[in-house]
Amino acid sequence: MHATREILPGIHWVGGSDRRLERFENLFPLPNGITYNAWTILDEKTALIDTVDGAIGPLFLENLAHALQGRPLDYLVVNHMEPDHCAHIDAILRLHPQARLVGNTKTHAFFRQFYPEAKDVHILEVKEGDRLPLGRRTLRFVLAPMVHWPEVMFTLEETEGILFSADAFGAFGALPGNLFADELDHASLFLDETRRYYANIVGRYGPQVQAVLRKLEGVQIRTICPLHGPMWRKDLHVLLGLYDRWSRYAPEKRGVVLAYGSMYGNTENAVHALAARLADLGTTDMRIHDISKVHPSYVIADFWKYSHLVLAAPTYNMGLYYPMHNLLHEISSLGLRDRTVALIGNHTWSSAALKEMQGMLSGMKGMTVIGMPQDVRSALRADDASWLDALAREVAESAQLQV
């Protein structure tokens, strides 16, 4: 049976949630599932804004049929041609052969790549600023290239200021029936998952997010409708402020994230000894992650949030312990920058981890290494206390000054 919600007169949410999928993009764990949002607009003309992932196809098609109330679909607007939002375009066009597929040049090129067999598709190609009147409501298209993919655009419903924002402002997590951030416990349920989604999915494209935020300055926006997670109709400045900060790679808070890989517990012991000293020195807001155990997407979300990182790992196969190598590769690829970092290595018979961490960090922008990077010789000894004390002082003082 359909499960739709009318979010504004004539505008229905026709998306759905998938609580079974283990990993988004087959990469990112989804302990709380994921939502795929889509909407219909019924006016003199009818429009569907985006579609959904194949996993919730049957429900989506029922939702669409219910929301259209027997009317034909005039426009299918594709803000993002990634398959988690586009699994059912062909089915919809078969059901509504008169519908026009609305997108930009790149949308249509990608459509042809994903649907090489599609025939008799009526395309409506739009450019930056083009308007599409539906009757009482008018849609305006705002290109947002690389706010995940190059074809991405936002659709602004101008009459009531509704921004359909593709992946931007999205979150991991299935919706609990409530659709809007102000009608659910957003701080507990979605804030961390909005940050984890941003850092890992959109994080690389900070300059492009900044560009589209500048384009939207002065635009009257009353509702934000992302393709994943809750919609927003109150306190939009909170969400916009976070996006502005995250896309400038500016930390939200002063605090220290200690991320370590440890084969037998000795590197872990060095991190615990440092963390205890940091706490003694009054450092608050610390997070410790064993990166062999915690998925990197969570560690990376904390790196986005906090000002200071401590990275610790042993030498392994004459190089850097693989999980730390992977983590540094990921943050480099995501373009994380402007963090203050302290480093601890460990080796027994060949030292390479510390040097490799330093080398990888030196290739990233604005990563400032503080303190004297230390290379533990197998396990901490009593005389290691002096460098631990000194490193803790440097990190604590720096963390208390910044942000």
Question: Considering only 80-88, 102-110, 153-161, 343-351, which stretch makes contact with ligand FEO by CB under 6 A?
Answer: 80-88
Token pair listed for 54: 């194949």
User: By rule CB under 6 A, what string of x and - marks binding of each residue 13-52 to ligand FEO?
Assistant: ----------------------------------------
Indicate the angle between helix axes 322-334 and 296-305, nearest 10 degrees: 50
Nearer to ligand FEO, 18 or 84 (CB): 84
Nearer to ligand FEO, 12 or 85 (CB): 85
Q: Residue for token digits 């790679």?
A: 249
> b vs e for 336-374, b when ≥16 Cβ sit within 10 Å of the residue's Cβ?
beebbbbbbbbbeeebbbbbbbeebbeebeebebbbebb
Cβ atoms < 10 Å from Cβ of 117: 6
d(CA 101, CA 75): 6
Question: Considering only 78-86, 136-144, 217-225, 367-375, which stretch makes contact with ligand FEO by CB under 6 A?
Answer: 78-86
d(CA 86, CA 50): 7
Rounded to a whole number of angstroms, the minimum distance from the CB of residue 326 to ligand FEO is 22
Find how far residue 9's CA is from the centre of its chain.
Answer: 30
Question: Considering only 82-90, 258-266, 279-287, 296-304, which stretch makes contact with ligand FEO by CB under 6 A?
Answer: 82-90
> CA-CA-CA-CA torsion for 329, 331, 336, 339, nearest 10 degrees?
-90
Nearer to ligand FEO, 48 or 311 (CB): 48
From 80, 96, 186, 277, residue interacting with ligand FEO (rule: CB under 6 A): 80
82 is an interface residue for ligand FEO by CB under 6 A: yes
Nearer to ligand FEO, 273 or 301 (CB): 301
Q: How many residues bind ligand FEO (CB under 6 A)?
A: 9
Residues 186-245 that bind ligand FEO (CB under 6 A): 227-228
The answer to whether 197 touches 177, Cβ cutoff 8 Å, is no
Rounded to a whole number of angstroms, the minimum distance from the CB of residue 220 to ligand FEO is 26
The answer to whether 398 touches 369, Cβ cutoff 8 Å, is no
From 84, 151, 268, 302, residue interacting with ligand FEO (rule: CB under 6 A): 84
Rounded to a whole number of angstroms, the minimum distance from the CB of residue 346 to ligand FEO is 39
**Positions in the binding site for ligand FEO (CB under 6 A):** 80, 82, 84-85, 148-149, 167, 227-228
